[in-house]
Chain A
């Protein structure tokens, strides 16, 4: 029904290859677990790269949406690890679509518009006079019950809808096709007619359009297709593009209707002067909550500034929410954002937190601005650089914010934006004037111009933990264990500034498609050297301090593990290594107690002459070349590692593809460890800090999946929650990676694969509702 398969002409869009669609189906409903599907979507990589086509297409996207949004077939939800194709549900909804369409497109005299054909039918529906006597049922009757009255109203409604449909996504030629426009109009009309309390509102058309395009992309011509799997053909049948788009649109709108709701204020408008309407539209309430509650909890500085200037949140949030950010990002990025949103939270509550994360992200632009500049930024959201990373990071920040809405999380997000996106922490002093942009252009320039400072900063000096590490290496003998120590510590150091790799695509075999991921590996930890908090507001400093304290405690915990691990071999150690270990232990204690004001230098340096650093050890210190995924590799001694069945060669490259989702809660040291802390304004880098963090990052945990998804990785010594192990696509053993004893980076602790002795409890899980 929708558009013809006219890939040959210059219509400017193509469907993916049929085999790709079939592959996508098999992947989604065969090999992927539900959990993995959600995880991929949340990471900005719903499908592996090979499924991408064109500038913004992704084969299988609509199939994934069907799996994520449609109710699963009965009795399978709990039992099945894999998404089950919701064929029965789809059939039911297709039938419903035909019924509703047949009913609503029929004029009261029983006729249909010329050329109107129901999907799945070859001939126009038979006209049949509807009920009612001629007195009532004729176009000129003044009877209140006259069905023509409703009909004419509907004609007007369709006209209004068509007006918007005709200018939907002006950049995409697909939407200029008459068949597409006709289907979109029908669907919006049906939706409005079935939801009279809301009706049709501008904005719905763009939500539907994006869904429709995704469904049409994944459609197959049942008669000519070379695909012979009947389920695939049924699911992807082109006949039902409109029906399926209507279903998905309805499911999405279930969550969004509230943002479109509005009714005439009761009483005469005069009574509601000064805007004190008795009725407040839900979108206004929501907008206020986002800015005045959520944002004020997370980034009080920004909130205060916006409030002082008198920015009314609904001015920009109406558009952000009602269009689900489609005007704020490019089409491709918007779709990636939707993937994750549908996967993480079909109720779309998370969208509110995405707004908060978006505000925090452009705080450097907003803070120095005046009223009109702020509003300009908010209504022309600065362009996303970094594509998928940019938006999927927003998603993950939104999840964290929704769980821990406090300044500590806010600070960590500012840090994360610095590390992963190069957005400086410092708010630029001179007000950057937004240049007037042409309508329809994607804003581009400002952000780059504002963003430069940190990148220039060099970091010639090693940070504190690395100093310790060098020391250890310098005096060590080349026992195999050296590398482990070194890598552990350099890992810690890296984690100090949050491992960007902790956030990575967990699916595709190569990471080259997302070069931005390795970005901050080339830019190691500028924050260790430069006190960035000079000349800034107190609350900024506090936010950062809180984050650093949190990190420090995390590091202490990591060191504890490292020391313990090394101590197991202590009987074999030479004296220098003992010394090294001692040094490491001291560093651990400093980090752990957090209130040591003066370091005992003696305990940090060796008393023996340092031998030249063993080559072996240096290998691990190299910063990986820019295009490679970071490889903080740690070899565990063989007896620690038991190869999984079928894994013949020892895997050695570790790509910490730690997903922010599905993690076990990080084992925090007990509160008493910090009990002796005293507040301190010392630089948190060298000595330490104070009171327990205002909040500890709590991590999302997979709602389901008690089953280890690995290919059988097992740990003999199950180290306390520091192990991270990852696996590649489909748990493929060949790619199984060894865990690195990595510190849980801020917010993204390594996920643990060991099923032994690790509790998977105590997690707040907003996603639980999904299944």
Chain B
């Protein structure tokens, strides 16, 4: 484990309107689980998960922050964004409002993160195709205009979730200036110097988690 090259620690952030399924995407990805809409309670403040992933033979550790969607609730926005390398902006393809709110989210993004941070737009609830309110094309075009990746997904039916995270992480790995400065840590002691370990960065090298069923550990 303590090889010469420690896996980079990446901080990802999930944002988007309330009830678009941010927590569900995360739970599907990390726990391979899905709870029906009325069975998952609203996120208050922030939730946080760590997992690891292997991409192209390369291990990365992810800490994923799942934020509360309610706009006026975002009391501590800057804490969330600090040190993030990748952002997933989610909307609900069956709810036009959540798509129409995207410009506001991107305004916030521009405020808090540097342009090199990788962004990914995810249209969730693909399982609700029958009540689709935002076409795939619209979504893709919006993503292109804002220079971000795009995917439609369903946390419920497990479509596109893993791909979304994988694409995002691949793109981050292709952008070394995002993570390279934090990378050259070798040991995994809990007493790493605070300056070196940026809040939000994670280190799971000491003890690998066995979670075969989960989407995020391979």
Chain A positions within 8 Å of B, measured between CB atoms, are 160, 163-164, 166-170, 176, 199, 201-203, 205-206, 262, 269-270, 273-275, 277, 281, 283-284, 308-312, 314-316, 318-319, 322-323, 327, 368-373, 375-376, 379, 431, 433, 435-436, 438-440
Contacts and interface: CB of A to CB of B under 8 A. Distances in A.
B45 interface: yes
Contacts of B102: none
A316 B190 CA distance: 20
10 contacts: A167-B40, A167-B41, A310-B198, A315-B46, A318-B46, A370-B203, A372-B63, A433-B207, A438-B31, A438-B33
Interface string B2-25: 000000000000000011000100
A164 B41 CA distance: 8
B38 A273 contact: no
Given A167-B37, A438-B33, 13 more contacts: A163-B18, A168-B41, A262-B74, A269-B108, A275-B82, A309-B194, A318-B44, A327-B41, A375-B48, A431-B206, A436-B214, A439-B23, A440-B39
Nearest to A308: B194
Contacts of B209: 433, 435-436
Contacts of A322: 44-45
B8 to A, nearest CB: 14
B48 A439 contact: no
A322 B198 CA distance: 27
A595 B155 CA distance: 68
B157 interface: no
Interface in B76-134: 76, 78-79, 82, 107-108, 111
A315 B76 contact: yes
B96 to A, nearest CB: 13
Given A283-B75, A433-B207, A170 B70 contact: no
A319 B44 contact: yes
Contacts of B190: 368-370, 373, 431
Interface string B182-217: 000000111110100111111110110101001000
A308 B194 CA distance: 6
Contacts of A372: 48, 50, 63, 201-204
B51 interface: yes
Contacts of A373: 190
Interface of B: 18-19, 23, 27, 30-31, 33, 35, 37-51, 63, 68, 70, 72-76, 78-79, 82, 107-108, 111, 188-192, 194, 197-204, 206-207, 209, 211, 214
Given A310-B199, A370-B203, A431-B206, A436 B42 contact: no
The interface residues of chain B, by DSSP majority, are classed as loop
A262 B191 CA distance: 35
A351 to B, nearest CB: 15
Contacts of A439: 23, 27, 31, 33, 35, 40
B75 A166 contact: no
B38 A166 contact: yes
Contacts of A269: 107-108, 111
A371 B190 CA distance: 8
Contacts of A202: 18, 42-44, 68, 70, 73
A372 to B, nearest CB: 4
B77 to A, nearest CB: 8
Contacts of B39: 167, 170, 440
Contact of B75 (A176, A262, A327, A369): A262
Given A167-B42, A270-B111, A318-B45, A440 B206 contact: no
Contacts of B204: 372, 433
Contacts of A270: 111
Contacts of B45: 314-316, 318-319, 322
A176 B39 CA distance: 10
Nearest to B108: A269
Contacts of A310: 194, 197-199
Contacts of B192: 370
Given A273-B111, A370-B192, A436-B30, A163 B19 contact: yes
A205 B70 CA distance: 13
In the A-B complex, the 10 residue pairs with the smallest Cβ-Cβ separation, listed nearest first, are A275-B78, A318-B45, A372-B202, A310-B199, A370-B190, A170-B39, A319-B44, A433-B207, A281-B75, A319-B45
Nearest to B24: A439
Given A169-B41, A370-B192, A372-B203, A436 B18 contact: no
Contacts of B76: 281, 284, 312, 314-315, 318
Given A170-B39, A372-B63, A376-B50, A312 B79 contact: yes
B72 to A, nearest CB: 6
Given A163-B19, A273-B111, A436 B79 contact: no
Contacts of A275: 78-79, 82
Contacts of B201: 371-372
Of A166, A308, A371, which is in contact with the most chain B CB atoms at under 10 Å from its CB?
A371
A203 B38 contact: no
Contacts of B27: 438-439
Contacts of A309: 194, 197, 199
Nearest to B77: A275
A316 B42 CA distance: 15
A700 B107 CA distance: 52
A160 B30 CA distance: 28
A262 B72 contact: yes
Nearest to B208: A433
B216 to A, nearest CB: 9
B193 to A, nearest CB: 9
Contacts of A375: 48
Contacts of A168: 41
A213 to B, nearest CB: 15
B72 A199 contact: yes
A281 B203 CA distance: 31
A323 to B, nearest CB: 6
B150 to A, nearest CB: 25
B142 to A, nearest CB: 21
A277 B74 CA distance: 13
A262 B31 contact: no
Contacts of A314: 45, 75-76, 79
A375 B49 CA distance: 9
A206 B41 CA distance: 9
A259 to B, nearest CB: 10
Nearest to B33: A438
Contacts of A433: 204, 206-207, 209
B202 A176 contact: no
Nearest to B70: A202
B35 A170 contact: yes
B140 to A, nearest CB: 27
Given A167-B38, A312-B79, A436 B44 contact: no
Contacts of A436: 30-31, 49-51, 209, 211, 214
A439 B155 CA distance: 14
Contacts of B37: 166-167
A212 to B, nearest CB: 16
A375 B200 CA distance: 9
B35 to A, nearest CB: 6
Nearest to B69: A202
